[in-house]
Amino acid sequence: MFYWSLAMEYMKNYAKTKLTYRADFWVELLSDLLFQGVNLIFILIVFQHTPALGGWSEAEVVFVYGYFMVPAGIFGAFFNIWNFSDRYIVKGEFDRVLTRPAYNLYQVLLENLDPPSLFGSLVGLVIMVLSWGDLGLAFSVVDILMMVIFTIGSIMIYAGLFTALTAISFYSDAPTGILPLMYNISNYGRYPVNIYNKIIRFTLTWLLPFAFVGVIPASYFLDKDHAGLSKLAILTPVMGIVVGAIGLGIWNLGVKKYRGAGS
């Protein structure tokens, strides 16, 4: 209850700051979408020149991309601490966070909300529904349930990985550049993983499981089983719990090590 009311207060605060630059809010939202849209445009342009991508049809690849946008959008809205090292460690704002009674990571996340990102999820859902029709897939209530479970699993994978990487700043305050690096690797998961070579494929499935935030859970809904991916789909929530727990563990260890910088 306490945590819920906190979230509400932060939301209100966010709305107030955004209302000062109203026009800019919309431009930002649009440019965010465009940012996401580039990959979609890439897919659409490319499929004008080829009928299939590694055995996947256009509607299927678009469907996978639509799925990817849903967890990615929710994740982006709640996890926006890309400047954590600068703001909280180097400038020392983490001291302030630690003196308060709510869980530190929760506070940090709420201070950096980015709700416009949720709009991407909405667009992703629309894309999924449209290509669902294109593909002529059967629909059942179970699909909605699975969609919710997969989405939560995917978000936890993202959250776990990036929390763990952000926690590196507790150990080293020098910029490591590993976050943008990982963010770029995550792009690989949006496309059918069977087009990559074995090493990359293994990495994306088991080591940095970005394939579980995109192609693997999405293939559960498709009729055709590509490269045995839909069998793995059911593991999405399991991977989510494992990766999420590891991420949180590394974070908590890091907080223990935190000494505060400067004055």
Partner 1 sequence: MNSAYLELIRIRFLMMLAYRVNYYSGIVIYTINIGAYYFLWEAIFGDQKVLAGFTLAQMTTYVAVSWMARAFYFNNLDREIANEIRDGSVAVQFIRPYNYLFVKLMQGFGEGLFRLLLFMGPGLALVCLIFPVKLPTDLGTWGIYLVMLLFSFLINTQINMLVGLFAFFVENNEGMLRMKRVVVDLFSGVIVPVSFFPGWLAVTMKWLPFQAITYLPSSVFTGRTAGDDVLRVFGIQLIWFLVLIIPIALIWRMARTRLFVQGG
| Vertex 213 angle, CA 108 and 123, to 5° | 85
Smaller CB separation from partner 1, 191 or 251: 191
Query: Is residue 34 close enough to count as binding partner 1 by CB under 8 A?
Result: yes
Neighbours of 223 (CB within 10 A): 10
- The site that binds partner 1 (CB under 8 A) totals a number of residues, namely 39
Smaller CB separation from partner 1, 77 or 146: 77
- Which amino acid, one-letter code, is at 247? G
Smaller CB separation from partner 1, 94 or 188: 188
Piece of 38-46, 104-112, 133-141, 159-167 that binds partner 1 (CB under 8 A) = 38-46
Query: Is residue 28 close enough to count as binding partner 1 by CB under 8 A?
Result: yes
Out of 82, 103, 119, 196, name the contact with partner 1 by CB under 8 A: 196
183 by DSSP, 3-state: which?
A: helix
Tokens 């299939």 belong to: 52
Q: Which of residues 165-194 bind partner 1 (CB under 8 A)?
A: 174-178, 180-181, 184-185, 187-188, 191-192
Q: Which of residues 46-75 bind partner 1 (CB under 8 A)?
A: 46, 48-50, 52-54
Instruction: Find the shortest distance in angstroms from Cβ 51 to partner 1.
Output: 9
Cβ-based neighbours of 109, under 8 Å, separated by 6 or more: 78, 79, 80, 81
Query: For residue 94, which of 183, 10, 8, 166 has the smallest C-alpha distance?
Result: 166
Structural contact between residues 124 and 48, judged by C-beta atoms closer than 8 angstroms = no
Cα-Cα end-to-end distance for the chain? 35
Tokens 């974070």 belong to: 251
Q: Residue numbers of the site for partner 1 (CB under 8 A)?
A: 21, 23-24, 26-28, 30-32, 34-35, 38, 41-42, 45-46, 48-50, 52-54, 174-178, 180-181, 184-185, 187-188, 191-192, 195-197, 200
